[in-house]
Amino acid sequence: MGPAEVAHGPMLLGVVFNVLLYGIMITQIYLYYTTYKRDRAWMKLLVLAVFVADTINTLFDIWYLYESVITHFDDPAFLVKANWRFATDPATTGVIELMVQLFFCWRIWALTKNIFMIAAVGLLSIGGGICALLTTYEITQIPEFVRFQEFKSVVIIWLVCASTADILITSILVWYLSSDLMVDRIIRVTMQTGLLTSLLATLDLIVYLANPTGLHLMLNFPLCKLYSNSLISSLNSRGGWRYDNSNNSVNRTLTDRQGAASSAFDEVRSGWKDEKDLASPRSPTKASSFRSLQSRQEP
């Protein structure tokens, strides 16, 4: 097997998935900015920062792949080593991962006010982000793909911290929100995206340890896009669902009047200032708010 096939075959597949998820993220960001215009400024800036970091990640990945398979076609000496364009991938992935996990850390704080949970998730997130940056440094020092296992301790800590933080985030949010009918859609979205990122990070680690050739790049390249999509999909999951007050259940049909629905949700929930106040059918005050929401949605 030639040097191009060893690392750049899996890399090509990883970039394809990366770009596909980037397109999905752009669609979600458009929906977010057109639907949730009343969100607080820091949330909008966070989404923008994630988008910029994701764009940089995709551009550098494509740039490096173009250099490898087009500019340096049939140049084995170039293909066996990574350059600085390739080395930016762990750094940008770590930055995106850190921003997304700290956002969910804020949500956990708004929900639980538990300093120990926040400390656990926050330390794991920061540790993973730092090790991702260290991975970029190690790649610049040891650029040969077949020698990547020489700095495996840094990669192990990075991916273990990332997957553990994702599992904690998902578990905590599911535990504290599971009794609320109106937010079970948030539970589903958080569980699906949180578990996906943790599973992909774990699988990436296993393949990295089992195969020294670079096969893990197929899993590592799309990782940052799963984090960014988890953030935006969680933000977008807040509106556009109808509450059926007659039987205390959620009608799982998206309304075409998402703009009006999201505005009403923003009023009821006050911009997620306290996750405990999320739509509970057992509260008379909140029930009246949802009756108002339902009347606003009906033509």
226 pLDDT exceeds 80?
yes
271 pLDDT exceeds 60?
no
Mean pLDDT comparison of 22-31, 65-74, 105-114, 185-194, highest-scoring range: 22-31
220 pLDDT exceeds 60?
yes
pTM: 0.76
Q: Hey, where are the domains in the chain?
A: 3-236, 241-297
CA neighbor of 277 nearest in space, from 266, 290, 268: 268
Mean pLDDT comparison of 43-52, 67-76, 190-199, highest-scoring range: 43-52
What pLDDT digit, counting tens, does each position of 77-93 carry? 888 888 899 999 999 99
Residue-averaged pLDDT of the chain = 78
User: What's the CA gap between 261 and 232, in Å, rounded?
Assistant: 18
Q: Which regions of 86-196 does DSSP assign to beta strands (E)? A: none
- 61 and 21 Cβ atoms separated by less than 8 Å: no
Predicted local distance difference test score (pLDDT) of residue 182: 52
Percent of the chain scoring above 90 in pLDDT: 44
What pLDDT digit, counting tens, does each position of 123-135 carry? 999 999 999 999 9
pLDDT band at 74 (very low <50, low <70, confident <90, very high): confident
CA neighbor of 117 nearest in space, from 170, 162, 195: 170
- 49 and 99 Cβ atoms separated by less than 8 Å: yes
Distance between start and end Cα atoms, the chain: 64
What would the mean pLDDT of 34-45 be, rounded to a whole number?
93
What would the mean pLDDT of 110-135 be, rounded to a whole number?
93
User: What's the CA gap between 191 and 172, in Å, rounded?
Assistant: 10
Predicted local distance difference test score (pLDDT) of residue 177: 66
pLDDT band at 20 (very low <50, low <70, confident <90, very high): very high
The yes/no answer on whether domain 3-236 falls in CATH 1.20.1070 is yes
Predicted local distance difference test score (pLDDT) of residue 279: 35
Query: Which residue type is seen at 112?
Result: T
